[in-house]
Amino acid sequence: MTRQSEDGICHDARADGIWFDRPGGLGAMLPYQIKAAGRTTARADMPLVRQRFNQHVLILPTSGVGLIRLGKTELRVQPGNLVWLDTSRQYAHGCVPGTTPWRYLWLGLVGHGLEALFGALHADDAPLVPLADVGGIRDLFVAAIERLQNPDPTTAAQNNAAVARLVGFLVGARGVSADLAGATDVSMAMLAARMRAGLAQVWQIADLADLANLSPAQLHRRFRQAHGATPMDWLRRERIHAAKGLLVATEAKIAAVAADCGYGDPYHFSRDFARLTGQPPSAFRRAGGK
């Protein structure tokens, strides 16, 4: 359900929430996945969101004015713009102080080439993309969120198609014909995709360096430049994010979730989970992922 305000913008009036993709199945075979999505209301009295989720996030404002901080840069975000953030990098966002609540829809994405495309389109420096067709983009967001709320056998394929359409829009909106290999470190993007596809695997720096045909020191330097974190820190955040989805979408025991996400020791998993999310896995599950 949507409502139209005096500014002519249709606002999504449904309840706030976060929904996660169910892991496994067809999604792992497709180029793109929507790992999480939601509707959010940020009030002026709420602190800015600063957590790193180590995935790409598209934000579609529906009302109010948002504030995004990227380093020393501050941006105001209103309906009529689409925002592209790489949340493995330093950022913060929330409602502009002293204003009415900022409401937005968001999609958390993973997929082959997103890191390379993010760099090629200079989204790290200019994350706001003006919208010519607000309604069409909003429909893509709403449909994707509803599919995660009520998944069926076609959900993964339809969400893959939705992300492909959004990628096409982003490229077209920027009017950029980019040589991705020259714009960003594609080898580091491919290495990240390989680790993301095998979270349960035991990864060692020496193995990763061999895969990238680099020395360990070169790997650390180039991976940090590309992703804003060391390979092991990046992998740790990626595993914890995957665990969030499993904790909410399944009834698996915490030890089994830990193993599926690459942790042989449940204590080590619980410690990392609490450090990165602010609460232990059991509390996160009881709260429904909130």
Cβ 103 vs Cβ 41: under 8 Å: yes
The pTM for the full model equals: 0.64
Q: Which residues pair with 37 in a beta bridge?
A: 19, 107
∠ CA 165-123-199, rounded to 5°: 75
Residue identified by tokens 């020496």 is 206
Bin 70: left if φ > 0, else alpha if -120 < ψ < 50, else beta.
beta
* pLDDT digit string, tens, across residues 17-57: 999 988 766 777 788 999 999 999 999 999 998 866 668 99
Residue boundaries of the structural domains of the chain: 2-174, 185-286
User: How far is the C-alpha of 192 from the C-alpha of 164, rounded, in Å?
Assistant: 20
Can you name the CATH fold of 2-174?
Answer: Jelly Rolls (2.60.120)
pLDDT value at residue 8 = 40
pLDDT band at 103 (very low <50, low <70, confident <90, very high): very high
- CATH class entry, domain 185-286: mainly alpha
* CB 244 within 8 Å of CB 289: yes
Q: How far is CA 7 from CA 2, 3, 63, in A?
A: 14, 11, 10
Between CA 185 and CA 193 the distance in angstroms is: 13
pLDDT category of residue 91 using cuts at 50, 70 and 90:
confident
β-partners of residue 271 are none
* Residue 123: half-sphere exposure toward Cβ, Cα within 13 Å: 28
User: What mean pLDDT do residues 140-147 have?
Assistant: 96
pLDDT in tens, 229-288: 889 998 998 899 889 888 988 889 999 999 999 999 999 999 999 998 889 999 998 888
How distant is the alpha carbon of residue 286 from its chain centre?
Answer: 23
pLDDT digits (tens, 9 = 90+) for 107-128: 999 887 787 778 777 787 788 8
pLDDT of residue 53: 67
CA distance 133 to 153: 29
